[in-house]
């Protein structure tokens, strides 16, 4: 038994050591409470719907969301008719029966469109910076959703003595860019009017859009958690049975 | 034996089985390898589970990998998107990919424990040197396989990791540059590199599989070592099946509990966030780090100011394992009976972990100094401590047989 514990401890130690290697951060990012955290974590459907509204009304003018299709919005609790109507608000280039360029209305199978025709156009319209695609942003930054939340609310006056470049803003969480970010402060109280009547404080808007972006990056999170619970339950029973069987078989040696 | 009588009593299935075994003894072969016909010492502790576990993870990796390959596109413009399609649209694609990506990390955790077990209990000593060698070759091929696998998603770390690591070969005088061009299939890491890495990443696991066969074969010539490190007589051996098969099944259960906890609740814990950004040859990440399992060697590479010497030290730090059976001059196998060596062995393990930390940091200031000290200890351990302690140390008296201590432990 001692050796089991020792071997298991060795595995755990090595696993946690390897995890801690990446824990180093340059700026401390406070941990936030998210409905999708933890063993049973789930998305809050209404929060995701509000987050979608924030993305659409604020972020989408500069940021694409290229891996998310309108059909995926079913996961936010919308029905087919709502998704069709949502998609139809967008236009996509098409070719008509005569072979001429035309436009068609968006379909549920379409993906969120890129606000810019190409990268150069995007940079020219954004003070030289390229607004990143947001589909994976919540997984593509150290600190994940906690970082996103604090980044979009982390605008303040630069510390004394620091000159911020023209067109840039000071952001205390943007350590990767020397605290100077090309995105100007976007989120303010009542910047959106929520369809569900939720009071649109800065904090609320930032939380909602962060939750939405985490869903966009990890749409299978709920399936992962629920499958995981069933797998773990199975593995616990399996391992216990294996342990008792092992003891029983090894007991033959004592005779 | 009255054949007439017994053959009428045997069922048709039994006779069909014996007919086949007489022509190709497949079942007997397995029975000899990991069954009732392989006698193993009765005192193997749970550290002996990790060999079987490594084989299990290899199969797990091949199975998940084959399914991933059905949906992956090895093209620089499509690789990243195809991985996202696996994550979002392929049925259980997210599970298969997270199992494969984390499986690589767990493969290394299991193999590192397996190697350290061999080092601690002197499993490399006569007559098991060739067994040890094959193990090191497996480890080297594993490292190459994992490295190329990490390039396939074509994220920023994939691309820049590949650039840094392949560039190491340019340190070789005269032929270095042509070798790098040859590896890349061009003048930078690009589509041809991705194509060949995919082909090799699919091939090498089967090479490992073949090497595992040799490893097990080489194991069966002398038989398993044991925690006491003494020669074991037939009286102290028990058949592998059912005793060690059931113990290994239990071990797999414990392993999967830890592994699945990470797969389902922390699938990106061991990965770098930057690999969720598509590869961009024009944007160099400020801090390029390899996957955690290479970090100690990365630290050794960067501890040495000269590029060529750094590369030599890095490869040397693994290749030194080949001569460990002769560097260790002690006649006692198990470190349990070597009070002095034991202390330095555990220091070596801690040293390796500290090196890993150094490898994850920027090579300046404290991490660089610590990295240099640890690199020194790493080589000191093999080239000085191992031979010298072997000569000087007075080992504790070895038991005559494992019978009595093994029985005591069982009570």
Tell me, yes or no, whether A73 lies in a domain: no
What pLDDT does B410 receive?
41
Q: How far apart are CA B338 and CA B394, in angstroms?
A: 7
Q: How far apart are CA B157 and CA B286, in angstroms?
A: 11
SS3 A23: coil
**Is residue A179 domain-shared with residue A229, that is, in the same domain?**
no
Quick one: tokens of A60? 């989408």
What pLDDT does A27 receive?
85
**Is residue A126 domain-shared with residue A251, that is, in the same domain?**
no
In this prediction, residue A176 has a pLDDT band, given cuts at 50, 70 and 90, of confident
SS3 B239: strand
Q: Please check the confidence at residue A20 and state whether its pLDDT lies above 60.
A: no
**DSSP state, residue A94:** E
Q: What is the mean pLDDT of chain B?
A: 94
Residue ranges of chain B with pLDDT lower than 50? Answer: 1-2, 405-411
**Is residue A115 domain-shared with residue A175, that is, in the same domain?**
yes
**Is residue A140 domain-shared with residue A197, that is, in the same domain?**
yes
Tell me, yes or no, whether A151 lies in a domain: yes
What pLDDT does A4 receive?
58
Q: What are the tens digits of pLDDT across the range B281-322?
A: 999 998 999 999 999 999 999 999 999 999 999 999 999 999
**Is residue A140 domain-shared with residue A185, that is, in the same domain?**
yes
| Complex-level ipTM | 0.90
What pLDDT does A23 receive?
44
Looking at the 3D structure of chain A, how many domains does it have?
Answer: 2
**Is residue A205 domain-shared with residue A124, that is, in the same domain?**
yes
Q: Which residue has the tokens 């006649």?
A: B331
> Looking at the partner chain, which of B42, B260, B353 has a beta carbon nearest the beta carbon of A235?
B260
Tell me, yes or no, whether A126 lies in a domain: yes
Nearest residue in chain B measured CA to CA from A225:
B264
CATH number of the domain that residue A143 is part of: 1.10.760.10
CATH of domain B31-284: 1.20.810.10
In this prediction, residue A82 has a pLDDT band, given cuts at 50, 70 and 90, of very high
Q: How far apart are CA B291 and CA B105, in angstroms?
A: 8
| Domain limits, chain B | 31-284, 289-400
| Chain A residues near residue B356 by CB distance under 8 angstroms | 17-18, 21
Tell me, yes or no, whether A20 lies in a domain: no
Average pLDDT value for residue range A41-70: 97
What pLDDT does A127 receive?
84
User: CB contact, 8 Å: B246 with chain A?
Assistant: yes
B289-400, CATH topology level: Helix Hairpins (1.10.287)
A210 closest CA partner among A125, A170, A162, A150: A150
Tell me, yes or no, whether A82 lies in a domain: no
> Looking at the partner chain, which of A11, A21, A144 has a beta carbon nearest the beta carbon of B360?
A21
What pLDDT does A22 receive?
46
What are the φ/ψ torsions at residue A224 (nearest 5 degrees)? -65, -50
* Distance between B292 CA and the closest CA of chain A, angstroms: 6
What pLDDT does B411 receive?
38
Tell me, yes or no, whether A121 lies in a domain: yes
**Is residue A59 domain-shared with residue A141, that is, in the same domain?**
yes
| Chain B residues near residue A29 by CB distance under 8 angstroms | none
**Is residue A191 domain-shared with residue A237, that is, in the same domain?**
no
What pLDDT does A5 receive?
59
Tell me, yes or no, whether A244 lies in a domain: yes
**Is residue A166 domain-shared with residue A236, that is, in the same domain?**
no
SS3 A37: coil
In this prediction, residue A1 has a pLDDT band, given cuts at 50, 70 and 90, of low
Q: What are the tens digits of pLDDT across the range A192-217?
A: 999 999 999 999 999 999 999 999 99
Contact yes or no for A214/A149 (Cβ under 8 A): no
* Enclosing domain of residue A250: 224-255
Ramachandran category for residue A29: left, alpha or beta (phi over 0 → left; psi -120 to 50 → alpha): beta
């Amino acid at each position: 038994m001692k050796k089991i514990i020792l071997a298991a401890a060795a595995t755990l130690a090595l696993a946690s050591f390897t995890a801690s290697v990446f824990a180093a951060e340059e700026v401390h990012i406070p941990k936030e409470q998210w409905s999708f955290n933890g063993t049973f974590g789930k998305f809050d459907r209404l929060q995701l719907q509000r987050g979608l509204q924030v993305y659409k009304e604020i972020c989408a003018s500069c940021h694409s969301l290229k891996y998310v299709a309108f059909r995926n919005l079913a996961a936010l609790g919308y029905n087919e008719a709502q998704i069709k109507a949502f998609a139809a608000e967008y236009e996509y280039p098409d070719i008509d029966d005569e072979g001429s360029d035309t436009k068609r209305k968006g379909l549920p199978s379409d993906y969120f469109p890129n606000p810019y025709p190409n990268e150069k156009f995007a940079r020219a319209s954004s003070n030289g910076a390229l607004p990143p695609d947001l589909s994976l942003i919540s997984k593509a930054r150290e600190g994940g959703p906690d970082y996103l939340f604090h980044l979009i609310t982390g605008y303040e006056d630069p510390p004394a003595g620091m000159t911020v470049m023209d067109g840039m803003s000071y952001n205390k969480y943007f350590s990767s860019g020397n605290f100077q970010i090309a995105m100007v402060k976007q989120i303010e109280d009542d910047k959106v009017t929520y369809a569900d009547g939720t009071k649109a404080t800065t904090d609320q808007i930032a939380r909602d859009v962060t939750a939405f972006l985490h869903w966009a990056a990890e749409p299978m999170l709920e399936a992962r958690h629920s499958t995981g619970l069933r797998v773990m339950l199975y593995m616990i029973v399996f391992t216990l049975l294996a342990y008792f069987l092992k003891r029983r078989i090894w007991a033959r040696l004592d005779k | 034996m009255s054949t007439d009588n017994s053959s009428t009593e045997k069922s048709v299935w039994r006779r069909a089985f014996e007919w086949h075994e007489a022509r190709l003894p497949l079942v007997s072969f397995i029975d000899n390898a990991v069954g009732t016909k392989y006698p193993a010492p009765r005192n193997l502790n749970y550290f002996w589970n990790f060999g079987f576990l490594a084989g299990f993870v290899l199969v797990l990796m091949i199975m998940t990998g084959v399914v991933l390959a059905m949906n992956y596109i090895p093209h620089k413009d499509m690789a990243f998107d195809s991985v996202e399609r696996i994550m979002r649209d392929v049925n259980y694609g997210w599970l298969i990919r997270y199992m494969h990506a984390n499986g690589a990390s767990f493969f290394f955790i299991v193999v590192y424990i397996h190697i350290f077990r061999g080092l601690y209990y002197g499993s490399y000593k006569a007559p098991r040197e060739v067994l040890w060698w094959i193990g090191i070759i497996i480890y080297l091929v594993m490292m190459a396989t994992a490295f190329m696998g990490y390039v396939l998603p074509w994220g920023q770390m994939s691309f820049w990791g590949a650039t840094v690591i392949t560039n190491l070969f340019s340190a070789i005088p005269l032929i270095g540059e042509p070798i790098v061009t040859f590896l890349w299939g061009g003048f930078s890491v690009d589509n041809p590199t991705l194509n060949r890495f995919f082909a090799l990443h699919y091939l090498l696991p089967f090479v490992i599989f073949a090497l595992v066969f040799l490893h097990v074969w080489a194991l069966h010539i002398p038989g398993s070592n044991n925690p006491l490190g003494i020669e074991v007589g037939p009286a102290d051996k028990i058949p592998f099946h059912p005793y060690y098969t059931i113990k290994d099944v239990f071990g797999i259960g414990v392993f999967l509990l830890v592994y699945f906890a990470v797969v389902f609740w922390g699938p990106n814990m061991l990965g770098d966030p930057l690999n969720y950004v598509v590869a961009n040859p024009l944007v160099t990440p400020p801090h390029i780090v390899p996957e955690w399992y290479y970090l100690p060697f990365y630290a050794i590479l960067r501890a040495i100011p000269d590029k060529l010497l750094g590369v030599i030290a890095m490869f040397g730090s693994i290749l030194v394992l080949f001569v460990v059976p002769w560097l260790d001059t002690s006649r006692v196998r198990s470190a349990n009976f070597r009070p002095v060596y034991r202390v330095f062995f555990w220091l070596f393990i801690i040293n390796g972990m500290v090196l890993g930390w150094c490898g994850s940091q920027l090579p300046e200031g404290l991490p660089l100094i610590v990295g240099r000290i640890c690199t020194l200890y790493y080589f000191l351990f093999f080239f000085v401590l191992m031979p010298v302690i072997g000569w000087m140390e007075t080992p504790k008296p070895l038991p005559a047989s494992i019978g009595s201590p093994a029985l005591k432990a069982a009570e």
